[in-house]
Amino acid sequence: MATFEPVLSRNWNVPDSHTLKVYESRGGYQAARKALAMDPEAVLNIVKDSELRGRGGAGFPCGLKWSFLPKDRKATLMCVNADESEPATFNNRILMEKDPHQFLEGILISCFATKAATAYIYLRFEYIRAFGILEAAIAEARAAGHLGKDIYGTGFNLDVWVHRGAGAYICGEETGLIESLEGKRGWPRIKPPFPAIEGAFRKPTVVNNVETLCCVPHILERGATWFKSIGVPKSYGPKLYCVSGHVNKQVCVELPLGVTCRALIDEHAGGVWKGRTAKAAVPGGISMGLLSASELDTPLDFESLRKPGCLGLGTAAVTVIDDKTSIVDYLYNTCRFFAHESCGQCTPCREGTGWFYKMLKRIKAGGGRIEDLDIMLQMANNMGIIPGTTICGLADGAAWPVKNAITKFRGELEDYIRHHQAATTKVTPLQERIAHGLPVAGNPPLPQMDGPPGPVPEGGAVAWRSPSAKPA
Ligand SMILES: Cc1cc2nc3c(=O)[nH]c(=O)nc-3n(C[C@H](O)[C@H](O)[C@H](O)COP(=O)(O)O)c2cc1C
Ligand code: SF4
């Protein structure tokens, strides 16, 4: 087997890798010079032939997306998705901080291929360091003639602007991003029309992820055949995998697509921490679902993750969950995140994410019922783009962790519900006195009631008993 040579991360350990001087000394911008001497259509075809799939989550073929732009368009815009809001994902940040010129070269070639004269980098608000580095790199590239007017004397013009988001997960969804860029609330749009036909400011727009565009200079430099020699069928090229959670070493590592989750954990992240074993792992950002311990040999590529029932590769950000961690806690945190981030336009998502969260809160408080699991599963199966009930994929991302956790860890969840119910539903003498309208120290006697004393408090499980029954 040929040895793998990292390309996306090759400059990361070089001192001052973020500067133009260092980037150019290592062959930087040669691929752009080569591309700009070609016909834009020819550049687009090379990227199409490489079968580069988008690294932002959906895995859509990049060159194919570019070819959807109308042939008779008068202008094209490029929106670079640098929102990177999927929990545990940090490869875009490192790409921008360590090698901003590789990123700008990718933007330059991609804009040339799609005939875009303006590119907006929609940057996650929290990436303050990346913001400063990008601004400096753009200024350097402009001054050196890699951006601006008549680049390399070809007549091609390109301006790049950094637009900072305001910190919302939904602004990573491409049409939420476009709305936000236009100065509006980041509410995803109903598609069609897709951005390639009508995107930002109603112009044909290409939306691509940072890592996707960083692959482009290497494809131009080394060719589509080289790119397809890396990875596994239908998932070609190098990929930056992030590993975090309960591991000894949190890493972002470049490997061929198709590495197994187990190899990532054991060989690159130093194994599970504290000598424990993995109970489960999130394969590609929390919206992709959950792998159980017995599924850790699944290759992390665009196709293989469907076999164990995950949504897909997503951002290839693996989070390891050790054997001391409760799946209820994992699910509670996940559901809380999606309930907070749902934009609220679609009823199944707005209500569904909120209900998941409330039910998990109740389960954690000891008020869970076994049938809650079936109710959650039914809700999860009916929300999202895949069942066709929502505008965007946030709802699918909220549903998948619930589906996977309940089907793969049902025994643990049932045990938790039973065990915690038993521990917290014990009625205290004080609750008994209140339920029977008996005086409580310092308070006047409560009036006797004819019916049940109102709704059961959230998380509480004090059973109503007839006032005529004697306290135990
Ligand atoms: C809720 C949601 C959040 C998303 N967040 C991001 C993100 O932070 N970064 C990203 O590149 N793509 C994100 N995406 C995917 C984008 O909608 C889009 O598919 C991607 O930017 C296209 O770029 P690519 O083809 O190069 O992957 C998100 C999608 C959804 C549904
Ligand atoms: S699925 Fe959820 S996040 Fe997406 S548009 Fe509908 S309500 Fe908003």
User: Residues 393-428, buried b or exposed e (16+ Cβ, 10 A)?
Assistant: bbbbbbbbbbbbbbebbeeebeebbeebbeeeeeee
Average pLDDT over residues 230-253: 98
| CATH placement of domain 235-282+292-317 | 3.10.20.600
At 13-71, the pLDDT tens digits run 999 999 999 999 999 999 999 999 999 999 999 999 999 999 999 999 999 999 999 99
> Per-residue pLDDT for 446 more than 90?
no
The pLDDT of residue 159 is above 70: yes
d(CA 35, CA 223): 12
At 396-412, the pLDDT tens digits run: 999 999 999 999 999 99
Q: Rounded to the nearest 10 degrees, what angle do helices 91-98 and 210-222 cross at?
A: 60
Angle of the 347-364 helix axis to the 394-408 helix axis, nearest 10: 40
Residue with the smallest CA separation from ligand 2 atom 8 is: 343
What residues contact residue 456 under an 8 Å CB cut-off, 6+ apart? 367, 462, 464
Residue 430's pLDDT is 76
Query: How far is ligand 1, taken at its centre, from the CA of residue 340, in Å?
Result: 18
Which class in CATH covers the domain with range 20-229? alpha beta
Q: What is the CA radius of gyration of the chain?
A: 26
Parse the chain into domains and list their residue ranges.
20-229, 235-282+292-317, 327-423, 426-472
- With a 6 Å cutoff on the Cβ, whether 355 touches ligand 1 is no
Q: How many Cβ atoms from other residues are within 10 Å of residue 202's Cβ?
A: 12
Distance of alpha carbon 369 from alpha carbon 414, whole angstroms = 8
CA distances from 454 to 360, 405, 427, 449, 462 (A): 22, 33, 17, 10, 11
Query: Which positions ≥6 away from 359 have C-beta within 8 Å?
Result: 368, 372, 375, 376
Note the pLDDT of residue 433: 75
pLDDT (0 to 100) of residue 290: 98
Cis peptide before 233 (omega within 30 of 0): no
CATH number at 327-423? 1.20.1440.230
pLDDT value of position 424: 56
What is the pLDDT, as a whole number, of residue 435?
Answer: 66
Q: What would the mean pLDDT of 434-462 be, rounded to a whole number?
A: 57
Average pLDDT over residues 133-146: 98
pLDDT class of 444 with cuts at 50, 70, 90: low
Q: In the structure, what pLDDT confidence band is assigned to residue 3 with cuts at 50, 70 and 90?
A: confident
Residue 425: pLDDT band (50, 70, 90) is low
441: left (phi over 0), alpha (psi -120 to 50) or beta: beta
Cα(22)–Cα(451) distance, rounded to whole angstroms?
A: 79
Whole-number Å distance between alpha carbons of 255 and 198: 36
Taking residues 72-99, report their average pLDDT: 97
Mean pLDDT to the nearest integer, 58-87:
97
Q: What are 168-177's pLDDT values in tens digits?
A: 999 999 999 9
Judge if the beta carbon of residue 58 lies within 6 A of ligand 1: yes
Ligand 1 atom 11: the closest Cα is on which residue? 56
C-beta of 383 in contact with ligand 2 (< 6 A): no
Tell me which amino acid residue 421 is. Answer: Q
**Cα–Cα distance measured from residue 30 to residue 24, given in angstroms and rounded to the nearest whole number:** 8
Task: Answer whether 331 contacts ligand 2 (Cβ < 6 A).
Answer: no
* Alpha-carbon distances, residue 297 vs 180, 248, 259, 293 (angstroms): 39, 19, 9, 9
Give the list of residues 6+ apart from residue 180 with CB closer than 8 angstroms, or none.
Answer: 122, 165, 166, 168, 171, 186
Cα gap 35→72, rounded to integer Å: 22
pLDDT over 70 for what percent of the chain? 91
Look at residue 77 in the predicted model and tell me its pLDDT: 98
Task: Among 191, 345, 350, 382, name the best residue to mutate to test ligand 2's pocket (greatest count of ligand atoms within 8 A of Cβ).
Answer: 345
Which residue of 346, 357, 379, 400 sits with most ligand 2 atoms within 8 Å of its CB, as the best mutation to test the pocket?
346
- For 285-294, the pLDDT digits (tens) are 999 999 999 9
For residues 282 and 410, what is the distance between their CA atoms, to the nearest angstrom? 17
Residue 151 has pLDDT above 80, yes or no: yes
Predicted pLDDT at 423:
62
> What number does the ligand 2 atom closest to the CA of 384 have?
1
Which pLDDT band holds residue 472 (cuts at 50, 70, 90)? very low
The three-class DSSP label of residue 147 is: coil
Q: Tell me, using a 6 A CB cutoff, whether residue 269 lines ligand 1.
A: no
Ligand 1 in reach of 209 Cβ (< 6 A): yes
pTM of the model: 0.89
Q: What is the maximum alpha-carbon separation in the chain? A: 94
pLDDT tens per residue, range 317-330: 999 999 999 999 99
Mean pLDDT for the chain overall: 93
Q: Is 347 in the pocket of ligand 2 (CB under 6 A)?
A: no
Residue 402 vs residues 75, 172, 279, 283, 398: alpha-carbon distances, Å: 43, 22, 16, 14, 7
Our mutation pick for probing the ligand 1 site, out of 51, 66, 67, 81, counting the most ligand atoms within 8 A of Cβ, is 81
Task: Please give the pLDDT value at position 432.
Answer: 73
Q: What is the mean pLDDT of residues 105-119?
A: 98
